[in-house]
Structure 1
């Protein structure tokens, strides 16, 4: 016990600093390394994103207990959340809010009976396409537009994927998430709806990005970039 007291006394400043950092990461802001290609072309493997943990709710630190609502998640938001399947932390796009009726037909979304519009698009560089080590077939890029949804997606017609579902109604207090890389994402089509308390924050900006397929060289243009 005396040794512990002495250790604390000698390192009090450092211990307080580390506790403060843990509190900030647990309650206010966090960062997250994008581990997969499920959100291409928006987020790339090697992106380190900033997660605003109080964008929607103030929670008891290190728990899912909501103390106060700040704002409601919106269609089109990029969010991090704990998977309802196994607790794994994921990052996806929020597609539908409570009460929405959603369906997908041949990869095309319909929300509340209104069909999304799709326009063929291009990515900035081939670095924004699914890496060839994962998939070497045809990749098609579209701009998906429906109300507040306005972003690019990738579809891979040669890959087996769930391209049809619904119509389903999003339950109260829950949300439907999809990856922008539609045929390479384990999202609400497979793991179900996501309860609000499982949402851990909103992603609006990158910290930095390193390209693991190119000797971890920095993607300078992505440093501090907004989504």
Structure 2
């Protein structure tokens, strides 16, 4: 009886610890779509830090030591119209920023972002016949984005980001639902910051009788930015 009690106690502690970690420290997600390519690919499994923007006080909706996301952060958030679904997008505009998109390119606070085409094949382009990868730069920050080679010139804005909200975009600019369609995201709906890809499975390249996905080993335990 004592042994069973020890097993049960250990199980309860393990479950409680796992729930605590998931609720207040780190949460795992699977990336289902290509809206964040080339940074995140379908089949990536990611960890999101819940401590990046404040410490959630247990059993409350309040946070301690709250900090705001920075431009370029990859955030996980819940959209108010679909509270049960988590999204991953990149923060482009901060409160008070003026955002405009001309011919698919971002103009931030009346300053056009710089775009440098990536010509080296790093294996990140899902289809080199259809897409081009660019390094999108603003001041000291930069990240990779994808555009369709034959794309429509889509303009947006200008708008000013409201207080306590952020303007978010997907890195796959021609295949992402984001603030261009939903509007800005309240910072209160941000769950955490993406910090790590801990596993990546390619379901397009299968083996074992076309039953098992290939592991993208170069992406396993890789950081993101």
Query: Displacement of 1:141 after TM fit?
Result: 1.4
Task: Say whether the 8 Å CA contact 1:85–1:191 is kept in structure 2.
Answer: no
Task: Determine the structure 2 residue equivalent to 1:3.
Answer: none
1:141 matches 2:133: yes
Task: Determine the structure 1 residue equivalent to 2:158.
Answer: 167
Task: Determine the structure 1 residue equivalent to 2:143.
Answer: 151
Give the TM-score, by structure 1 length.
Answer: 0.86
Please list every run of 5 or more consecutive structure 1 residues that lacks an aligned counterpart in the other structure.
1-6
**How many residues get paired?**
213
Q: Which has the higher strand share?
A: 2
Tell me, in whole angstroms, the C-alpha distance in 2 between the residues paired with 1:61 and 1:187: 31
Tell me, in whole angstroms, the C-alpha distance in 2 between the residues paired with 1:163 and 1:149: 24
Deviating 4+ runs (over 6 angstroms): 7-10
1:6-25 aligned within 5 A: 11-25=8-22
Tell me, in whole angstroms, the C-alpha distance in 2 between the residues paired with 1:105 and 1:85: 28
Task: Say whether the 8 Å CA contact 1:75–1:148 is kept in structure 2.
Answer: no
Tell me, in whole angstroms, the C-alpha distance in 2 between the residues paired with 1:70 and 1:148: 24
Per-residue CA deviations over 1:44-95 (Å, capped at 9, x if unaligned) read: 11111111111002224587x2321343210001111112331220111110
Per-residue CA deviations over 1:131-160 (Å, capped at 9, x if unaligned) read: 6xxxx9621211111124401111125466
Tell me, in whole angstroms, the C-alpha distance in 2 between the residues paired with 1:72 and 1:8: 45
Query: Displacement of 1:30 after TM fit?
Result: 1.1
Tell me, in whole angstroms, the C-alpha distance in 2 between the residues paired with 1:86 and 1:148: 34
Task: Determine the structure 2 residue equivalent to 1:103.
Answer: 100
Q: Which of the numbers 67, 70, 77 marks the counterpart of 1:81? A: 77
Task: Determine the structure 2 residue equivalent to 1:203.
Answer: 194
Q: Which of the numbers 157, 174, 182 marks the counterpart of 2:173? A: 182
Task: Say whether the 8 Å CA contact 2:45–2:200 is kept in structure 1.
Answer: yes
Tell me, in whole angstroms, the C-alpha distance in 2 between the residues paired with 1:115 and 1:40: 22
Per-residue CA deviations over 1:193-223 (Å, capped at 9, x if unaligned) read: 1111111111122111111111211111111
Give the TM-score, by structure 2 length.
Answer: 0.86
Task: Determine the structure 2 residue equivalent to 1:38.
Answer: 35
